[in-house]
Structure 1
Amino acid sequence: MTTFKALFNQMGKKKRRSVYLLALLQLVAASVFALWALFSNGGAFSNQDKPIAWFVMVFTFAPLADMAYVVLSAWQNEKEYSSQTWRLVPVSSSKFYLANILSAIVNGLYLVLIQIGMGVVTFLPALISNDVRTNIWEINQAISKSSHAGDFWQKLSDSFPIGEMLSALLAFLLFAILVYSIVTTLNLSSRTITDFLPDKHSKLIRFVIMIVLIFIFIVLTNNLGSLLNQLCWGETSNGLVAFAEGNLMMALIDIILGSINIWLLKDFHEGK
């Protein structure tokens, strides 16, 4: 049997190509627009802001690259579920499903780290500007005064509470799993239903089934959310408790959808 780690690594290597491609496209697009801002007289940046044009453009295109990765990785996930090569790997359906989703999420985080690195690199040319260096020096002085006054770390802790930040990270991971799980549920369930129907007009039938399933899923999600809100907890001003409630609901939905997807992969869906 193939180990989960080996399967995860192989799936991650395949998805990493998309990460590098999107990061390169982001950098090229940001560079083109930054050059336009630097050399155009009526550009989007004033003379004072032009040193940070490259840095600003990198982060302007970051959300587009991230959204493109979500779409591309979700499409890759569904291809791997249908790939006969991947399905012949001696591994359980549950490990295969988890390795596919988690490798997509880890590579998404890797893309974010690359974007942060590009941000640091593209900010370096801005240090040539005297205005930028002056602003950095003033910020550093303000931080030094606050830290000497003894209340800086307290203010930092109040502004960025560790518990809530970790809960927010968990919420992000659970939401990412939810997005991939929804796509997989719609794909596998529609394919499974279509397999029991005549081959004639199968594409049209699958499209109609997909629309019906999306509608049913939206209705069920709204009803489930309303039911959970009525059953417990209620409104709270405690940030950690609010995060815990939201994370518990998302985790519950992730487990339900994951169980359905693993069942469909194991008993109905075959690679082609």
Structure 2
Amino acid sequence: MADFKSVFKQIFNQKKKYIYLVLLVQLFAVVFMTVFMIITNHVIADGTFWTIFIAGRYGTWWELPFGLMISLSIIADIIFAGIMAWQNEKINSSQTWHQIPISDNKLLIANFLSSMVACACIFIIQIIITCVCLIPTTTYENKNIFVEIWNGLGVGTNNFNYLLNELLLIASLAFIVFAFVSFANLSSRTIMEVLPIKSSGWIRMLIIIILVILAVYIYISVDSQIKNYLSFYYNQKHSVYIQEIMPLWITLLEVLGAGIICASLCFILINKYVEPKIINR
């Protein structure tokens, strides 16, 4: 049997190149937009999307890379998550990968885990690059921005705990995206195999759309029931409206629970119903 660690390393190495690719494109966009704005003396109007991250002014050129890096990181992370989901399905559908002497369950776990680690890596690198972009601000404005950010995080306070919950929620959202995409892919293939009609990409796409609609409907219904119950409970026991007391971790548990359910269904489908096909790695 192949070692889980070695299989994880192989899968991660295959996905690692996309970290560099997305970061290079993002850095090119940051440099290009910074130079373009400086050359054209472009003024950013108050109230626009960019002013959220560029302090509402263009007067200091050294603030541009920092603001652009943060705003473009959001777009880059969404694109990167999509690439990782696509890579997951290539591996799930690959007979070559499934010929490795390791159980399908362990291969699926290594696949999901490698994508999560890749997302964490690109996120950490983006934070480091963003901090580097702050150095000109520290130099020209003669103030330690890093100390201000550290104090703003409020380590050990409720603000910091809320930030940690937000980071965990982001990780859970990435996990549920990967798990649901795999579930939709595997379940649609399973349904296509039992349908008495010729396999068609359009039919499979229709099946996936129906699965997405059902999943969203079920999640909204469950979320509504949970919030109604908690609202009733707290109104009865504490006379406090639910929106004022419900912490972020309830949403975190909902998302994480939905991801675990989708992943569990993936284990069942890939072991009992889906036969991988021979495709290139």
Change (3 A) 1:197 1:35: same
Question: TM-score, length-normalised on structure 1?
Answer: 0.81
Matching residue's letter, 1:268: Y
Residue 191 of structure 1 and its aligned partner are, at CA, apart by: 0.8
Q: Provide the residue aligned with 2:193 in structure 1.
A: 195
Matching residue's letter, 2:270: L
Q: Provide the residue aligned with 2:256 in structure 1.
A: 251
| Alignment of structure 1 residues 54-69 onto 2, 5 Å | 54-69=65-80
Residue 34 of structure 1 and its aligned partner are, at CA, apart by: 0.7
Q: Does 1:160 align with 2:171?
A: no
Considering only CA atoms, is the larger Rg found in Structure 1 or Structure 2?
A: 1
Q: Provide the residue aligned with 2:32 in structure 1.
A: 32
Q: Provide the residue aligned with 2:62 in structure 1.
A: 51
Change (3 A) 1:53 1:85: same
Residue 3 of structure 1 and its aligned partner are, at CA, apart by: 2.4
Q: Provide the residue aligned with 2:49 in structure 1.
A: none
Contact 2:176–2:255 (Cα < 8 Å) also in 1 = yes
Q: Provide the residue aligned with 1:121 in structure 2.
A: 132
Contact 1:87–1:270 (Cα < 8 Å) also in 2 = no
Matching residue's letter, 2:185: N
Residue 184 of structure 1 and its aligned partner are, at CA, apart by: 1.1
Residue 226 of structure 1 and its aligned partner are, at CA, apart by: 2.8
Match of 2:178 among 170, 176, 180: 180
Contact 2:137–2:145 (Cα < 8 Å) also in 1 = no
Identity %: 28
CA distance in 2, matches of 1:47, 1:258: 46
Q: Provide the residue aligned with 1:149 in structure 2.
A: none
CA distance in 2, matches of 1:138, 1:260: 47
Change (3 A) 1:263 1:171: same
CA distance in 1, matches of 2:256, 2:144: 45
Deviations 1:103-135 (A, max 9, x none): 111111111111112212233344553xx22xx
Question: TM-score, length-normalised on structure 2?
Answer: 0.79
CA distance in 2, matches of 1:138, 1:86: 47
Change (3 A) 1:117 1:179: same
Residue 57 of structure 1 and its aligned partner are, at CA, apart by: 2.0
Residue 198 of structure 1 and its aligned partner are, at CA, apart by: 4.6
Q: Provide the residue aligned with 1:262 in structure 2.
A: 267
Change (3 A) 1:159 1:14: same
Q: Does 1:204 align with 2:202?
A: yes
Q: Does 1:22 align with 2:26?
A: no
Relative to total residues, which structure has the larger helix share, 1 or 2? Answer: 1
| Alignment of structure 1 residues 214-225 onto 2, 5 Å | 214-225=212-223
Residue 263 of structure 1 and its aligned partner are, at CA, apart by: 0.5
Q: Provide the residue aligned with 2:116 in structure 1.
A: 105
Q: Name structure 1 gaps, 5 residues minimum.
A: 144-151
CA distance in 1, matches of 2:253, 2:18: 31
Residue 255 of structure 1 and its aligned partner are, at CA, apart by: 2.4
Deviations 1:149-186 (A, max 9, x none): xxx89x76445244x44433333322221111111111
Contact 2:26–2:72 (Cα < 8 Å) also in 1 = yes
Contact 2:165–2:249 (Cα < 8 Å) also in 1 = yes
CA distance in 2, matches of 1:105, 1:49: 37
- Any idea what SS the aligned residue of 1:160 has? helix
| Alignment of structure 1 residues 131-150 onto 2, 5 Å | 132-133=141-142, 136=143
CA distance in 2, matches of 1:137, 1:188: 51
Q: Aligned residue pairs: how many?
A: 255
Q: Provide the residue aligned with 2:227 in structure 1.
A: 229
Contact 2:134–2:145 (Cα < 8 Å) also in 1 = no
CA distance in 1, matches of 2:59, 2:228: 54
Contact 1:8–1:100 (Cα < 8 Å) also in 2 = yes
CA distance in 2, matches of 1:139, 1:114: 17
Deviations 1:8-38 (A, max 9, x none): 2211111111111000000011101111122
Residue 137 of structure 1 and its aligned partner are, at CA, apart by: 5.7
Q: Provide the residue aligned with 1:148 in structure 2.
A: none
Contact 2:192–2:199 (Cα < 8 Å) also in 1 = no
